[in-house]
Chain A
Amino acid sequence: MNGLRQWTGPLTQDLVLKPGDFGLGQVPARLKPDATATTVCGFCSTGCGLNVHLRHGEAINLSAAPGHPVNFGMACPKGWEALTPLRATDRATTPLLRNARGELEPVSWEVALGVFVERFKTIQQEHGPDSLAWLGTGQITTEELAFLGALAKMGMGIRHGDGNTRQCMATAVSAYKQSFGFDAPPYSYTDLEESDVLIFIGSNLCVAHPILWQRVLRNRNRPQIIVIDPRKTETAMAATRHYAIRPKSDLILLYGLAHLLIANGWIDDGYISRHTTGFEDFKEFVTRFTPDAVAGETNLSLQQLQGLAEVIHAGQRVSLWWTMGINQGHEATRTAQAIINLALMTGNLGRPGTGANSITGQCNAMGSRLFSNTTNLLGGHDFENSAHREKVARILEMDVSRIPSQESWAYPRIIEEIDSGKIRGLWVVGTNPSHSWIDQQPLNRSLEQLDFLVVQDMFTSSETVQRADLLFPAAGWGEKEGSFINSERRLGHVKKVARAPGQALADFHIFQLLARAWGCEAMFRHWSSPEAVLQILKELSRDQPCDITGIADYADLSAAGGIQWPCPDKTRLRDAAGDRLESDSGLDGRRLFADGRFFHPDGKARFVFEAPRPLPEVPDANFPLLLLTGRGSAAQWHTGTRTEKSAVLRKLCPPAAYIEINPVDAKLLGIAPGACVCVSSRRGSVLCTAFVTSTISRGQVFIPMHYAVANQLTFPAFDPESAQPGYKACAVKVTPVV
Chain B
Amino acid sequence: MNGVAFEQTRTLIDELLLEQQRLTAVERFALRHERDAIPAQAKLYRDLLPTRVPDRGEQYAFAVDLDACSGCKSCVTACHNLNGLDEEETWRSVGLLHGGTEANPFQQTVTTSCHHCVEPACLDGCPVLAYEKDPRTGIVRHLDDQCIGCQYCILKCPYDVPKYSYKRGIVRKCDMCASRLDVGEAPACAQACPNSAISITLVSQSSIRAQALEGIFLPGTPDPAYTQPTTRYLSRRGLPEVLAPADAHALRRAHSHPALVVMLVLTQLSVGAFCVETLLRALFPANLMMQLSAVHSLVALAVGLLALGTSTLHLGRPLAAWRAVIGLRTSWLSREIVIFGLFAGLAMLHATGFWFRPMRAFNSAGLSLAVAITGLLGVFCSVMIYHDTRRAFWRGLPVALKFYGTTALAGTAAVLFVTTLQALCSPSVVAQGAYQELTVFLSKSLVIITALKLAVEATVFRHIWNESSGPLKQTARLLTGELAEITTARFLLGLIGGGVLALAFIMQRPAPGISTLGVTLWIFVFIMGGELLERFLFFVAAVPQRMPGGIDA
Contact = CB atoms under 8 A, between A and B. Distances in A.
A189 B326 CA distance: 59
A509 B552 contact: no
A81 interface: yes
A10 B144 CA distance: 9
Nearest to B98: A693
B173 to A, nearest CB: 10
Contacts of A500: 20-21
A206 B145 contact: no
B202 interface: no
Interface in A20-65: 21-28, 30-31, 35-39, 52, 54, 57-58, 61-64
A217 B146 contact: no
Interface residues of B, number: 96
B100 A38 contact: no
Interface in B98-138: 98-102, 105-109, 128-130
Contacts of B10: 110
Interface in A481-531: 481, 493, 495-500, 503-506, 509, 512-513, 516-517, 519
A253 interface: no
A652 B76 contact: yes
B9 A113 contact: yes
A409 interface: no
Contacts of A195: none
A217 B168 CA distance: 41
Contacts of B22: 496
B78 interface: yes
B70 A238 contact: yes
A504 B13 CA distance: 11
Contact of A9 (B37, B144, B196): B144
B107 A4 contact: no
Nearest to B19: A509
Interface string B80-97: 111110011010011000
A516 B12 contact: yes
B447 to A, nearest CB: 39
Contacts of B108: 237
A66 interface: yes
A499 B70 contact: no
B504 to A, nearest CB: 41
Contact of B143 (A7, A71, A554, A691): A7
B5 A52 contact: no
Interface stretch (A11-19, A277-285, A288-296, A433-441): A11-19
Contact of A479 (B12, B20, B38, B81): B20
Contact of B180 (A26, A649, A689): A26
A75 B28 CA distance: 24
A581 interface: no
A634 B10 CA distance: 43
B534 interface: no
Contacts of A517: 1, 5, 9
Interface string B431-469: 000000000000000000000000000000000000000
B180 to A, nearest CB: 5
Contacts of B145: 6-12
Given A17-B83, A37-B29, A673 B248 contact: yes
Nearest to B43: A66
Contacts of A513: 9, 12-13, 16
A263 interface: no
A92 to B, nearest CB: 13
A672 interface: yes
A154 B28 CA distance: 33
Interface string A133-157: 0000000000000000000000000
B26 A54 contact: yes
A430 B30 CA distance: 28
Among the interface residues A52, A57, A77, which one has the most CB atoms of the partner chain B within 10 A?
A77
A695 B77 contact: no
B74 A74 contact: yes
Given A5-B129, A77-B77, A694-B99, A64 B84 contact: no
Contacts of B101: 694
Contacts of B6: 110, 114
Contacts of A693: 98, 105, 107, 246
B294 to A, nearest CB: 40
A732 B84 CA distance: 45
Contacts of B88: 647-648, 651
A572 interface: no
B133 to A, nearest CB: 13
A235 interface: yes
B37 A21 contact: yes
B39 interface: yes
A232 interface: yes
The 3 closest A-B pairs by CB, nearest first: A28-B84, A25-B39, A9-B145
22 contacts: A4-B323, A5-B143, A5-B326, A12-B143, A12-B144, A16-B179, A17-B179, A25-B39, A25-B191, A36-B30, A37-B25, A61-B84, A66-B40, A77-B76, A114-B1, A211-B194, A214-B195, A235-B70, A555-B29, A651-B76, A652-B550, A695-B98
Given A113-B13, A207-B72, A505-B20, 16 more contacts: A6-B145, A22-B35, A25-B39, A26-B39, A35-B26, A35-B31, A73-B40, A84-B87, A114-B6, A214-B194, A232-B106, A237-B107, A500-B20, A517-B9, A555-B29, A652-B94
Interface of B: 1, 5-6, 8-10, 12-13, 16-17, 19-31, 34-42, 44, 67-68, 70-74, 76-78, 80-84, 87-88, 90, 93-94, 98-102, 105-109, 128-130, 143-147, 168, 170, 172, 177, 179-180, 183, 185, 191-196, 246, 248-251, 323, 326, 550-553
